[in-house]
Structure 1
Amino acid sequence: MINELFGLEGKSALVVGASKGLGKTMALSLAGAGADVAVVSRSQKLIEEVRDEIIASGRKAVAVKADINREDDIIGMAGQVIDYFGKIDILVNNAGIYIPAMALNMTAEDWDKTLNINLKGFFLSCKTVGRHMVDQKKGKIINIASVLGKRAAQASSAYSASKAAIIQLTRSLALEFAPYNINVNAMGPGWFETELVKDELSNPKTRKFFLSKTPLRRFGVPEDLAGAVVFLASKASDFMTGETIFIDGGFSIW
């Protein structure tokens, strides 16, 4: 029964932002649960490496280069994946950037860049793939938000605003897509030692501060997301929609 609930055999997944870090680990985790996986990034070389790793594990995989700021790229991305697998059962939106800056020092260009990638790109991906899922009357959409969509931190106004918006976008889309048997949920990672925040966490005082605010007293590693993404992609989460699971070592408890 458990294998039936959590297994993804016969499913095809699309992971946007899968070249490294959390996205790569989630793509490999979905493949490990039995799904065939399309990996998407602006870096062709990196996603080809992830694709090859998935194929070596015994699953089908395809690498698609796309810029999620561009709607025509997203439409082309979805078309390529559907042509290759015949369908998209699972969408994971993970692409994102973090530009640390105090509000008074943040440029309009950096604000726009953050919101375009972290919010507009997610919306366009959900819209495009969601249309396909509406036609097939089923699907799972998983948006990667952040604990900073719930908790405030200095020098993160644009990033926090984009991730708070993702949490509410997830709720809104869950309501709109529910009649078509499409589940839309989000994951809110806490502080993970990834490329995205390596500069922030390289500061000893910053590391000490965030560890002191994390009850489990450690930073996350990409593998900490593996179980949650498989759960949200699987039959086990069929009666769950519009929710955000925070995987943050307890950071959001405070």
Structure 2
Amino acid sequence: MNLTGQHVIVTGAGAGIGLGIVRQVRAAGADVTAFDINADGQAALEALGAQFVQVDVANCDAFAAAIDAAHAALGRLDGLVNNAGVTIQVPFLEMTRAQMETLWTVNQRSVLVGCQTAGRLMAAQKRGAIVNIASNHAGATDPGFEGYAGSKGAIVSMTRAMAWSLGPHGVRVNTLSPGMTRTEIVDAAMQDPDLAKIFQGWAADNAVNSVQEVGDAAVFLLSAQSAAINGADIVADRAMSVRLGAADKKENKDG
């Protein structure tokens, strides 16, 4: 999966899955422009050879301008990974309007803006690939994730429509829906052996995704090796969603 000579933008790149995607995209040979609302990850991103841009994807005008500027700086844009997002888990009857608005603006609207802005640039080039990071919660979820699951489900639905809007211009667009992944927060939680056992028990192979594994899946969807894949939702959750929301039989058996 060779991305040498290509230019890829990754949003939400400063930590977690975003940083893992940047690492794998850089390893595949691409130039990366890394967007994040916080500058905390700037040093790590620049150490990987990425160009850091501080931008809030919820600000439509600023986000679109940053994409245009990144394209102008390198004279091309071959890939976009819309990874920026927030997770809000709260009892449904207690969810506030502010929480709903945050989920909509960050998780869903930013993807629309990013895809449209990058899509126009890529259409002019007659080439490009977009990967929208959704979640396995788009297909199977739990109580407390109503707003989050809805925002991720919207990404999957929008992507299917975009495949036909952008496909005639040589641009592919797919979603990548990870399950439990060892971000910094999850890694810290898994220092508790009991939590580690629960998290591992959610997967068919008793493992938890690494950010590098999710990054590899994103690289595949950006690469020529996935040329036949357009409008698809690739669920990378080790079969977690097969039983998400059901009683954890393995945990009950062991406990």
| Residue 32 (structure 2) aligns with | 37
Matched ranges for 1:12-161 at <5 A: 12-46=7-41, 48-55=42-49, 61-161=50-150
Aligned residues: 243
CA drift at 1:63: 1.1
Deviates more, 1:217-226 or 1:173-182: 217-226
State the partner residue of 1:58: none
Q: CA deviation at 1:253?
A: 2.6
> For 1:160, what is the secondary structure of its paired residue?
helix
Alpha-carbon distance in structure 2 between the residues aligned to 1:200 and 1:111 = 26
Equivalent residue number for residue 212 of structure 1:
201
Letter in 2 for 1:156: F
Mapped to 2, the partners of 1:215 and 1:241 lie a distance apart of: 27
Q: Report what 1:164 is aligned to.
A: 153
Task: Name the aligned partner's letter for residue 22 of structure 1.
Answer: I
- Tell me the residue number matched to 1:176: 165
Amino acid at match of 2:175: A
Would you say the 8 A contact 1:97–1:196 is kept in 2?
A: no
Per-residue CA distance 1:38-70 (angstroms, 9 max, x = gap): 000011242x21332222xxxxx3211111111
Contact persistence 1:133–1:182 (CA under 8 A): yes
For 1:249, give the aligned amino acid: R
Structure 2 counterpart of 1:84, which letter? A
* AA in 2 matched with 1:222: V
Change (3 A) 1:246 1:119: same
**Shift in Å, 1:222:** 0.6
Distance in 1 between residues matched to 2:103 and 2:134, nearest whole Å: 13
Structure 1 stretches lacking a partner, 5+ long: 1-5, 56-60
Is this contact kept in 2: 1:66–1:74, CA < 8 A?
yes
Is the contact between residue 39 and residue 50 of structure 1 (CA under 8 Å) also seen in structure 2?
A: no
**Cα deviations across residues 180-211 of structure 1 (Å, max 9, x unaligned)?**
01010111100113256679879987765554
The one-letter amino acid paired with 2:90 is A
| Unmatched runs of 5 consecutive residues or more in structure 2 | 244-255
Quick one: which amino acid aligns to residue 43 of structure 1? N
Q: TM-score, normalised by structure 2?
A: 0.88
Q: What TM-score, normalized by structure 1, do the two folds share?
A: 0.89
Alpha-carbon contact 1:145-1:164 (below 8 Å) kept = yes
Instruction: Find runs of 4+ consecutive structure 1 residues off by over 2 angstroms.
Output: 193-213
Asked if structure 2 preserves the Cα contact closer than 8 Å seen for 1:114 and 1:159, the reply is yes
State the shift of 1:72 in Å.
1.1
Deviation of 1:130 after TM superposition, in Å, equals 0.8
- Tell me how far apart the structure 1 counterparts of residues 64 and 214 of structure 2 sit (CA, whole Å): 28
| Offset of residue 219 of structure 1 | 2.0
- The secondary structure found in structure 2 opposite 1:72 is helix
- Residues 201, 207 of structure 2: 8 Å contact kept: no
Residue in 1 aligned with 2:218? 229
Question: For residues 187 and 201 of structure 2, what CA distance do their matches in structure 1 show?
Answer: 18
Structure 1: distance between partners of 2:187 and 2:129:
31
- Show CA shifts across 1:90-143 (max 9, x none): 000000111110101111111110111000111111111111111111100000
SS in 2 for 1:240: coil
2:48 aligned counterpart, secondary structure: helix
User: What percentage of residue pairs aligned between the two structures are identical?
Assistant: 29
